[in-house]
Amino acid sequence: MRTLPLLSVLLLLQGAIFGQAADGVSGTRLTLHEAQSLAATRAYNVRYASLDTKQAASNSREIIASGFPQISGSVEYNRYIDIPIQVSSGDVFGFPDYLTSFLGGVAQATGVPLDAPPSDPNAIQEFQFGAAQTMTAGITATQLIFSPSYFVGIQAAKAYAHAMEASESKSVADARRAAGEGYAAALAAQENVAILRAAEALAESALNQTRALVTEGLAESTDADQLELALSEMTQQRTTAESMASVALDALKFTVGMPVETTVILADSFETLANAFHGATVLGTPFDANRLPEIKSQSKNLELSELGIRNEKAAGMPSIGAFYTNQRNAQRDAFDFFGEGNWYPIQLVGVQMNIPIWSSFGGKEKVLQAQLSRDRAATTLEQMTQAVTLEYRAARSEYNSSLEQRMQAQRGLNLAERILDRTRIRFQEGLASSFDMTQAQNQLVNAQANHAQATLRWFNAHIRLERSLNA
């Protein structure tokens, strides 16, 4: 009786394995699209970039707000332990010269001498002004009237906010690619486990059949020993593969921003993903470097450096601001500021102009440094444009190469299935040895692994090409 084609057996076993996992284990079913969408919002780099974008927008609003009226209030209380003493010369409050001359003339005319004490040029008088306790309360308002740096700063803040938005878009695109590659790696690891389990089941079946033939004297015990050794090696490979699959799944959860203790079931398979990927779409998409988020971000950085030059030039221009102050001052010998005492007003309004005159060529050097930063940003933009063009060409070449490798791996897998199928029939008829059987099984496992790896490379190449196109 001819056995089922081996590929059909493997698919049935694989379906049973994943069916049990889906039915017996409760967890989050995750498709590739869902993993990429989750990474676009939950990946750590995306979350950091989102915070940077929000902070840049807040900084822009802060700079704009600095040009509107600023109002502040103040309350100051002073308690003099010792009232300050002021000193002056003894005759600081003497009569004016004209009055002294007048009085002297009167004394001479009337004959009545002036009874004035002699003056002491070295005499010192001490005075204490003010009360022991004072309180001042008031408000101050300022308004920027004209400042070139302010207007340039607004433009720079907006440009920086746009640069952060482009940087966030780049983080999202990178996160989607990382999630896709992580999903494919986890899927390949589980596929490898399924292949080894199926191969282990076939090897165990062949071993049981061989033992039965040895019992009947139709095969040698060496054949059974060879198959048992092959089964032991395959069991070890399967155990290692299960450990690697668990690590790959944890890495996927970390990549998309999920807690690693979450139970995740991969809802897609290589077959469903192969049907979902449309190579003609990505191959037919024209390349445009200006659509890529990293190029947009660097273009905004170049714009920022241009504004930096304008800002340094604007620093040499005058700025004008207005202010208004309204205060009330009270002076008391005791703490009684809320009673009937007087509060004395202080009110003023003014305009202030700051005019830079001479910076010893420091301003000129700052402008030169800003120009050098602009040249560096322009060079970086040129380099990045060439780099993303090279990345697109490499991704396109890798995609075509991986597609051909996958087709070759599929042909090798079909051939290995036919070889094992014929070898099993010959082994059952006594025309093939256990060595032939083991070799045919190893060839199939290797062909299956090669096909899985080729499919994985094709998926990653597809994701890489989509990323290089920002598709």
Across-strand partners of 142? 70, 323
| Average pLDDT over every residue of 77-90 | 82
The answer to whether 421 touches 153, Cβ cutoff 8 Å, is: no
Q: How far apart are CA 94 and CA 103, in angstroms?
A: 13
> What percent of the chain is predicted at pLDDT more than 70?
90
Tokens 């042909």 — which residue? 411
For the cut 70, the answer to whether the pLDDT of residue 227 exceeds it is yes
Phi, psi (5° rounding) for residue 76?
-130, 130
Query: Which amino acid makes up residue 157?
Result: A
Q: How many CB atoms lie within 10 A of CB 193?
A: 22
For the cut 50, the answer to whether the pLDDT of residue 424 exceeds it is yes
For the cut 70, the answer to whether the pLDDT of residue 214 exceeds it is yes
Q: How far apart are CA 262 and CA 200, in angstroms?
A: 29
Query: Which amino acid makes up residue 159?
Result: A
Residue 464 exposed, middle or buried by CB count within 10 Å (0-12, 13-18, 19+): buried
Given this model, what pLDDT does residue 90 score? Answer: 63
**pLDDT band at residue 109, thresholds of 50, 70 and 90?**
confident
Region of 175 please: left (phi>0), alpha (psi -120 to 50) or beta: alpha
139-153, 232-246, 263-277: lowest mean pLDDT where? 263-277
Given this model, what pLDDT does residue 173 score? Answer: 93
Q: How far apart are CA 149 and CA 278, in angstroms?
A: 52
Q: What is the pLDDT of residues 163-185, one digit of tens each?
A: 999 999 999 999 999 999 999 99
Given this model, what pLDDT does residue 17 score? Answer: 38
Given this model, what pLDDT does residue 234 score? Answer: 85
| Average pLDDT over every residue of 387-405 | 94
Q: How many CB atoms lie within 10 A of CB 109?
A: 8
- Per DSSP bridges, beta strands 28-30 and 264-266 are parallel
For the cut 50, the answer to whether the pLDDT of residue 9 exceeds it is no
For the cut 80, the answer to whether the pLDDT of residue 113 exceeds it is no
For residue 352, the SS3 value is strand
At 176, which helix (H) or strand (E)? helix 148-215
| Average pLDDT over every residue of 108-129 | 73
For the cut 90, the answer to whether the pLDDT of residue 107 exceeds it is no
Given this model, what pLDDT does residue 331 score? Answer: 86
Given this model, what pLDDT does residue 23 score? Answer: 44
Tokens 């008088």 — which residue? 125
For the cut 80, the answer to whether the pLDDT of residue 11 exceeds it is no
| Average pLDDT over every residue of 101-106 | 76
Interacting residues of 202 by C-beta distance below 8 A, sequence separation 6+: 6, 9, 441
State the DSSP string of 292-313.
Answer: SHHHHHHHHHHHHHHHHHHHHH
Tokens of 8: 């059909």
- Rank 207-221, 224-238, 371-385 by mean pLDDT and report only the highest: 371-385
- Per DSSP bridges, beta strands 133-146 and 70-79 are antiparallel
Given this model, what pLDDT does residue 21 score? Answer: 41
At 319, which helix (H) or strand (E)? strand 319-332
Q: How far apart are CA 358 and CA 309, in angstroms?
A: 19
Q: What is the pLDDT of residues 31-80, one digit of tens each?
A: 999 999 999 999 999 999 999 999 999 988 998 898 899 999 999 999 98
Q: How far apart are CA 42 and CA 28, in angstroms?
A: 16
Q: How far apart are CA 430 and CA 418, in angstroms?
A: 18
Average pLDDT, the chain: 85
Q: What is the pLDDT of residues 358-379, one digit of tens each?
A: 878 888 898 999 999 999 999 9
Instruction: Tell me the pTM.
Output: 0.74
| Rg (alpha carbons) of the chain, rounded to whole number | 44
Given this model, what pLDDT does residue 338 score? Answer: 81
Q: How far apart are CA 379 and CA 385, in angstroms?
A: 10
The answer to whether 318 touches 353, Cβ cutoff 8 Å, is: yes
For the cut 70, the answer to whether the pLDDT of residue 22 exceeds it is no
Tokens of 1: 């009786």
**pLDDT band at residue 93, thresholds of 50, 70 and 90?**
low
The answer to whether 152 touches 314, Cβ cutoff 8 Å, is: yes
Q: What is the pLDDT of residues 311-368, one digit of tens each?
A: 888 888 899 999 999 999 998 888 888 878 889 899 999 999 988 888 788 888 989 9
| Average pLDDT over every residue of 140-145 | 93
Burial 130-155 (b: 16+ CB within 10 A, else e): eebbbbbbbeeeeeeeebbbbebbbb
Q: Where does 57-178 show beta strands of DSSP type E?
A: 70-79, 85-89, 124-128, 133-146
**pLDDT band at residue 95, thresholds of 50, 70 and 90?**
low
Given this model, what pLDDT does residue 96 score? Answer: 65
